[in-house]
Amino acid sequence: MSVIDVIRAKRDGGRLTDEQIDWVIRAYTAGVVADEQMSALAMAILLNGMDRREINRWTDAMIGTGIRMDFSGLRRPTADKHSTGGVGDKITLPLAPLVAACGAAVPQLSGRGLGHTGGTLDKLESIPGWRARLSPDEMLRVLREVGAVICAAGDELAPADRKLYALRDVTGTVESIPLIASSIMSKKIAEGTGALVLDVKVGSGAFMKDRAQARQLASTMVALGTDHGVRTVALLTDMQVPLGLTAGNALEVREAVEVLAGAGPSDVVELTIALAREMLAAAGIDGVDPAAKLADGSAMDVWRRMIRAQGGDPDAELPRARERHVLAAPASGTLTRLDALAVGIAAWRLGAGRTRKEDAVQPGAGVELHAKPGDTVTAGAPLLTLHTDTPERFEAALDDLAGAVTIGTGTVGTDGSAEGGEEFTRRALILERVSA
């Protein structure tokens, strides 16, 4: 088979055959198809799209390059969650132990941050001793003993995706919805979970800025999961404003532990419980209230066992940055806007994120929020605190935050919309639910 014929077929708006898709994925993974050839095909897919049959076959082909995990021997139903990434998105940390405390097994394969979005593994690695890399046997052991595991995907899980993702990242084809959906779902389906809940972020701090595009991505992924026998549902959630009051690795772990202790920011608690309810329903578990499991300490117990099972010390002191800089409110009034993207980029500049996958992160770096949109602020009072080990980073982070904040003079409303006017309206956190 000729890769040129495959490229031309999609370039000219045609549908790729099953044989073409199977061959090109196998050949690219084996190094027979060159990077520049796959780049041309990825661009053709970005421009001309794929239909449902093509996306399904593309996903199958990527799964077929590696192993498929099997959790059928567990005594609990399995449920997993995937977020498309945002700023301050520490939801996986309290969510996995909470759902396990409610009776499901949670095999959570997570990733690292790149750019302004944080990575779950980077957050957890701020806990002394905690290990992200587990063998399939170790992962299964932790699931049996604890009920939840959060770890890195092994090299043997959909290796075609790892190679293709790196290529898309440098060729301007990351935005292709068929390629995004197959990238996410190939790993989740190969992981072997029985149920999957997708948290598709929408807004300035998300990958998807536009709600219609986010809905299209969610629908594509739900269809992929359904077609592969995985009970799948998606929530579209707001990412105009950072989640919680922190963006940064150790900072977010502290906040997640606060949620597990029955406190924490209301938006983090709300989304954690909402996603837990969706996961439990998809897993077929009825009659368990996740809010009660947060309140009675059950989820915290699972968290502590999970951290210990992966070599971590849940009682250890978390890293703190050596330097801080307080950004004061420039005026008094109602905080009407706090741009998530600006906060995420600032946290990245301070050392919480990386530019390349091989870069190290500062565990204590990040941004701490002292107010959220809708709160009343006083001129000169702390608005944001910047944390880093390297104070020369403050200047660039402050430049990123210039214009990120709007303070109005009105009251807080309950519906409608406003942007610094006489009335501010809190945006809904959960925007939409997408199911098969």
Does the active-site annotation cover 211? no
* Same domain? 258 vs 116: yes
In a domain, 222, yes or no: yes
User: 262: left (phi > 0), else alpha (psi -120 to 50), else beta?
Assistant: left
Handedness of CA 118, 318, 389, 401 (dihedral sign): positive
Catalytic residue among 168, 304, 305, 393: 168
For 421, the 3-state DSSP assignment is: coil
In a domain, 435, yes or no: no
Per residue in 368-398, pLDDT (tens digit) is 999 999 999 999 999 999 999 999 999 999 9
In a domain, 433, yes or no: no
Catalytic residue among 10, 187, 188, 277: 187
* Same domain? 287 vs 335: no
Separation between Cα atoms, residue 3 and residue 304, nearest integer Å: 51
Task: At 316, give phi and psi (nearest 5°).
Answer: -70, 150
Separation between Cα atoms, residue 432 and residue 210, nearest integer Å: 13
122 has pLDDT over 70: yes
Quote the radius of gyration of the chain (alpha carbons, Å).
22
> Which of 258, 280, 309 is where one domain is finished?
309
Closest CA to 226 of 285, 274, 185: 185
pLDDT averaged over the chain?
Answer: 93
Q: What percent of the chain has pLDDT over 90?
A: 85
* Same domain? 125 vs 271: yes
* Same domain? 402 vs 271: no
Boundaries of domain holding 136: 80-309
* Same domain? 335 vs 261: no
In a domain, 244, yes or no: yes
Catalytic residue among 183, 186, 204, 298: 183
Per residue in 10-42, pLDDT (tens digit) is 999 999 999 999 999 999 999 999 999 999 999
Number of structural domains (the chain) is 3
b/e 346-382 (16+ beta carbons within 10 angstroms → b): bbbbbbbbbeeeeeebbbbbbbbbbbbbbeebeeeee
Does the active-site annotation cover 183? yes
* Same domain? 301 vs 331: no
Handedness of CA 154, 157, 159, 164 (dihedral sign): negative
Per residue in 289-313, pLDDT (tens digit) is 999 999 999 999 999 999 999 999 9
- Are 218 and 181 a contacting pair, CB within 8 Å? no
96 has pLDDT over 90: yes
Separation between Cα atoms, residue 5 and residue 1, nearest integer Å: 8
Separation between Cα atoms, residue 54 and residue 60, nearest integer Å: 10
One-character DSSP codes across 301-356: HHHHHHHHHTT--TTSPPP--SEEEEEEPSSSEEEEEE-HHHHHHHHIIIIIS-SS
Does the active-site annotation cover 22? no
* Same domain? 195 vs 341: no
- Angle at which helices 249-260 and 92-101 pack, to 10 degrees? 30
Does the active-site annotation cover 161? yes
* Same domain? 331 vs 300: no
In a domain, 71, yes or no: no
In a domain, 68, yes or no: no
Does the active-site annotation cover 349? no
Catalytic residue among 60, 161, 227, 267: 161
Token pair listed for 24? 């090109």
Separation between Cα atoms, residue 196 and residue 233, nearest integer Å: 7
* Same domain? 194 vs 109: yes
* Same domain? 92 vs 38: no
